[in-house]
Structure 1
């Protein structure tokens, strides 16, 4: 998930973010990232971007805003990483994975022909915990299925730093708290020597997962269809029109009966009539 945090534990002294520059940054971030920054986020943005100013050798926020005006694309990735906090965990909101493992995947795999296609999208994959959790459940279901199915997980995010961590697939052992002992043994390789205290995801999980950059507000290169889309703890930071547009776009990539998973504090209520709620933040696309 990409979310603007409510606080920064380390406030960085440096240039002051004035009203004009902050209003420009608010508009820029909304236009390019879809995130609505409130006035209460000013100190956070100032602290986060002060580090970026130092890296660029700039003396003030006016110079930075001028760079964004002159060449928005050159700095978009760094800006999004600077203001984003990636909060995630393996098997976060475990009921989603229970539904996937116990009901949905067995049904989908039973319906697929030999060599059939199964696709799941983790939209806002952060540092990889969500798509690798899906991959564990999918790999186990494929083994039980006993047939050859073309199954893949697409994992996308806006933040280059988050994507780099996801591609690396190496995590401190304490980050594996949500993973059962059996799955830890099966799907992680424990580091030794200089990698002591770390665990690397199993190559099979990497094989199932494609990790790519994507801004949800821009054009989407994929055509679908997806059997399921996970977009959890992402849309809560968008305004209502952006949410409505995003849900319409998701609906176009899901077949009738396809599933959309949202975060625990998110809802489609009043935002889309193309889905029906079938469980805790689990939606199913209605027949056309």
Structure 2
């Protein structure tokens, strides 16, 4: 018992010694407090760096300068005005071509725009002008190039060889000539064919003005066109009424073989509006008749 009391007293003594040995902070007198605050603030300001780095570093973004693309200097483009284009012929002989050597029968290959009622006349003339063959065929066609015609033409010749003319012609509803196309060939009694290339795909004569069914007034018709003369004979330009009467006529001199632009006029006389057919034709130097003919409708007024 006495030992327990002694231990308790000893423990209380040690606790008291520990509390006595703890040093408490000395309070700052009130009159010195402002001075301490000021000195502390000054020390903090001196310790801080001049520039404070941001919490998150910012990487500056470089904006590229706009690139100027040089523009080409404007250029003036001169677009040429296309001239009139020669149309395809109304009658095109594909074979035989000029001065082909042929034996009977001739194999005609052609494109033809039929005449009135679809009629097409094919003829073969001998050197003395005699008629060796004649075929009147009927074809209807709405194609631009016309109807394709393949025809066998038998013939007989008394000589070993002679010059011939193979011709194709059409007429309108009044019986006036519409188109004529011909080719000179050498007719052989015996031997083998020697076929030359056929026609050009361009018409031999073209009328630029007046156009089809244009109305003409004043008694003078201007005429502009292009022609490739077959020979050195005059090219005849003629106006025919529906009865075949000549209303106006003009002769034109040209150079054979060359395509030439022509400008001329035809004087005519009518008392009222008159449908007419303008015809351009050239005679054959070796055979009777026209070596070619082209026509177009016009309306003539006083």
Say which structure is richer in strand.
2
Answer whether TM exceeds 0.5 for this pair.
Answer: no
- Please give the range of the TM-score, normalised by the shorter of the 2 chains: under 0.3
TM-score, reference length from structure 2: 0.20
Larger radius of gyration: 2
TM-score under structure 1 length normalisation: 0.21
